Amino acid sequence: MATVNEKLFNAAVRHQVGLIRYSTSTVKQIVGLLNRSQVRVIAEISKYEVDNGNGTFSQARLDALLNSIRAIDQEAAVVLSGTLDGHIEELVTHEGEYVAKSINAVMGLPVQLNIASPTAEMLFAAVHARPFEGAILKDYYRDLPETIMRPVRETLRQGFVNGRTTEQIVRELRGTRAAKYTDGILQQPRRSIERLVRTAINHTATTAREEVYKNNSDVIKGVRWTSTLDMRTSDICQALDGQVFEPGVGPRPPAHFNCRSTTAPVTKSWEELGFNVTDLPAGTRASMDGQVPDTETYQTWLEKQPAHVQDEILGTTRGALFREGGVTLDRFVDSNLNGLTLAQLRDQEAAAFAKID
C-alpha cells in the first residue's frame, strides 16, 4: 500500500503533465497575438520608402519608420503582458486551491490539521514578488517592447544601409512559405515570448505550491525537487532531482528558462505531528511515515540508459566519468548550481579522471 508521500509524489508528477499542456495552450494564444502585431509591422514596412525618391538613403525616413513600428510593438507588449497576467491570476488561484485540496484528500487528516491555501490575492502578490532567472515579472513586462522591436530594428538598419530592397528585407523578416515562416528574423521574438510564457507558468505554479507548503509547515516538513526524466533535462535539474529542502528554503523551479521541473510535498509522520500512533488504525498508522518516497530519480534513470544515451546527455567525457569514475550528477555542478567545465572537473575529480584516462 502506497504511503501518503508516495501518493503526493505521484500526484505532483501527473499534475505537472497537465501544467505543461496548459502552458502550451497559453503559448499558442499569446504568440498568436504577437503574430497579429507582426502582420501590422510587415504591412508598415512594405508601404514605406526610406530613400528621398532619388535612390539615396534617408536616415530621417528610416527613423520615422522605426517610430511607427515602435508604436505597434509597444501596443502589442501591453496586450501580451495583460493576457499573460490574466492567465497567471487564474492559474495561481486554481493551483493554490488544488494543492491544498489534493494534500487533504491524500492525507485524510483530522480537521484540526486541515491544509489551507493562502488567499488568491496573497498568491498573486507572491508570484509578482518572487524572482526567477534574476528578475521579477514586472521587469520582463517592461522589457517586452524592446524584445519585440530589437531584431526588426537591426534588420531594417542593416538592410537599408547595405542597399537591400524593401521586398528583400520583408522576406528576411518574415521568412519563407516553404519553411512555414519559421526561418525569418521575426521568429526570434516569438521564441523569446514562448520561453517567457512557459517559464512564467512554471514559476506561477511553483510559487503557489510553495506558499501552501510554507503556510502549512506544521504538517509539511520538506519539498522534493522533481525533474522530468528524459534527454532534454538540464544539468541543474539532473543534479537537483530528488533533493529535499525545507519549505521556503533552497532552490525551486524554474531553474532556467523553459524549465519543466516541479515540486512535491513531504509530510511529517504521525509521531512528528504529535499523534499517539497506538490510537490509530493500522492502515492509517502506516500511511504517514514521514519518509521521502523511494522513487526513481534522474540519477537512477540515467544509470539504466545505454552508454550512447548517457554520452549524448552528458557528453563523452562526463559520460565516462558517470559510468566508470563514480561521479554522481550533483558533482557536475558547483555550489551555485553552475555547470563545471572539464578543467574544473579534472581539478575536483582527479581520482575519477585517473580511472578513465
φ/ψ (deg, to 5) at 248: 80, 0
For residues 173 and 71, membership in a common domain is answered with: yes
Provide the pLDDT confidence category of residue 276 given band limits of 50, 70 and 90: confident
Nearest to 140 by CA among 154, 130, 151, 125: 130
The residue among 257 and 301 whose pLDDT is bigger is 257
Q: For 110-114, what is the mean pLDDT? A: 65
For residues 351 and 208, membership in a common domain is answered with: no
User: Is 127 a domain residue?
Assistant: yes
**Cβ count near 224 (within 10 Å):** 23
In contact, 147 and 188? CB cutoff 8 Å = no
Q: Kindly tell me if the per-residue pLDDT of 126 is higher than 90.
A: yes
DSSP annotation of 294 reads -
Q: Give me the pLDDT at residue 277, please.
A: 66
DSSP annotation of 111 reads G
Q: Which of 149, 183, 218 is the last residue of a domain?
A: 218
Q: What share of the chain is helix, strand, coil (3-state, %, to 5)?
A: 65, 5, 30
For residues 320 and 188, membership in a common domain is answered with: no
pLDDT tens digits, 173-207:
999 989 888 899 999 999 999 999 999 999 999 99
pLDDT tens digits, 212-236:
999 999 999 999 999 988 888 999 9
User: Is 254 a domain residue?
Assistant: no
The residue among 51 and 100 whose pLDDT is bigger is 100
Q: pTM of the full predicted structure?
A: 0.87
The residue among 163 and 241 whose pLDDT is bigger is 241
For residues 317 and 193, membership in a common domain is answered with: no
Share of the chain above pLDDT 70, in %: 93
For residues 213 and 343, membership in a common domain is answered with: no
The three cell numbers locating residue 106: 491524500
Q: Give me the pLDDT at residue 180, please.
A: 85
For residues 318 and 191, membership in a common domain is answered with: no
Share of the chain above pLDDT 90, in %: 62
For residues 200 and 336, membership in a common domain is answered with: no
Q: Which of 218, 240, 265 is the last residue of a domain?
A: 218
For residues 309 and 214, membership in a common domain is answered with: no
Q: Give me the pLDDT at residue 71, please.
A: 96
The one-letter amino acid at 163: G
For residues 14 and 130, membership in a common domain is answered with: yes
User: Is 294 a domain residue?
Assistant: no
Q: What is the mean pLDDT of the chain?
A: 89
User: Is 210 a domain residue?
Assistant: yes
User: Is 249 a domain residue?
Assistant: no
pLDDT tens digits, 18-58:
999 999 999 999 999 999 999 999 999 988 776 556 556 67
User: Is 283 a domain residue?
Assistant: no
Domain coverage including residue 333: 305-356
pLDDT tens digits, 313-341:
899 999 999 999 999 989 999 887 788 89
User: Is 316 a domain residue?
Assistant: yes
Q: Give me the pLDDT at residue 285, please.
A: 59
Nearest to 319 by CA among 302, 296, 334, 335: 302
For residues 199 and 85, membership in a common domain is answered with: yes
For residues 182 and 316, membership in a common domain is answered with: no
Q: Which of 193, 218, 243 is the last residue of a domain?
A: 218
In contact, 4 and 293? CB cutoff 8 Å = no
Q: Give me the pLDDT at residue 347, please.
A: 92
User: Is 68 a domain residue?
Assistant: yes
Query: How many domains does the chain divide into?
Result: 2
For residues 313 and 183, membership in a common domain is answered with: no
Helix (H, G, I), strand (E, B) or coil at 257: coil
Handedness of CA 135, 137, 139, 145 (dihedral sign): positive
φ/ψ (deg, to 5) at 297: -105, 175
- Distances in Å between the Cα of 136 and the Cα atoms of 31, 43, 204, 230 are 21, 34, 11, 29
